[in-house]
Amino acid sequence: SHLFQNQGGIALSDIISIVKSIDFGTLYIKPAFMFQDDDGAVKIQFEADSSSALAYLYDNLCKTLGLSWNYETPVNDYGKYTNCAMHAAGDRAAYGCGPDDTKSGGFCPQMTLAYDVDFQSEDLAAAFIANGNNVVDYWRAMYPSGVAVGTDNFCPDGGCLGLYLNRYDLYQVFRPDLGGSWIEYNGGTFAPTISPAPS
């Protein structure tokens, strides 16, 4: 949904300028396991490394967008923030962030595959999750270090951040290491016209 500034939101152009200023490294992802949460959603949990480029980006986006805590009004050095941003990572460490994780911290990215899934039996649920975890284990064996985000789609060199307008429409792509950004919307790509230097 659009975050209207007069309702506590932030302009798309402000989000873009903030992301352009963050010097993140190449983004890698690596699934850890599939599970069903307490609300019935089937999800994939990804490994989390607090020193990774992904964790650095997440932490800095939270700081620069002025993520509010305890319902307080957010502030930041940019003067650009939103009262609408939320984070839902605080309790995710309870599931663990990987096979060797200590189940502490909180930066544990997840991907929801389906909401409110009602299996016909506990045995079928267990079989589905077990089969999903077999696929995850196969993928982990093939790519032990994970894969760079976007390599097969919007980021040929891999590791980019994609800004989506919704769950389907990629709008802007940001290269790691302040390597520039470009518009990629509605199936079209526009050459990078934004300086890679932070503004």
Q: What mean pLDDT do residues 29-52 have?
A: 84
Considering the chain, what percentage of its residues have pLDDT values greater than 70?
63
Residue 69, pLDDT above cutoff 90: no
Is 119 within 8 Å of 40 (Cβ atoms)? no
For the stretch 110-138, what's the b/e string if a residue is b when 16 or more beta carbons lie within 10 angstroms of its beta carbon? beeeeeeeeeeeeeebeeebeebbeebee
Q: What mean pLDDT do residues 1-24 have?
A: 72
Write out the H or E segment, with its range, that includes residue 134: helix 122-142
Residue 90, pLDDT above cutoff 60: no
Side-chain-side CA neighbours of residue 161 (13 Å): 26
Region label for 25, one of left (φ > 0), alpha (ψ between -120 and 50) or beta (otherwise) = beta
Tell me the whole-structure pTM to 2 decimals.
0.69
Top pLDDT among 45 and 86 is at: 45
Residue 75, pLDDT above cutoff 70: no
3-class DSSP assignment, residue 161: strand
Residue from 27, 22, 20, 69 nearest 48 by CA = 27
pLDDT band at 134 (very low <50, low <70, confident <90, very high): very high
pLDDT band at 192 (very low <50, low <70, confident <90, very high): very low
Residue 132, pLDDT above cutoff 70: yes
pLDDT of residue 71: 52
Q: Are strands 188-189 and 181-185 parallel, antiparallel or unpaired?
A: antiparallel
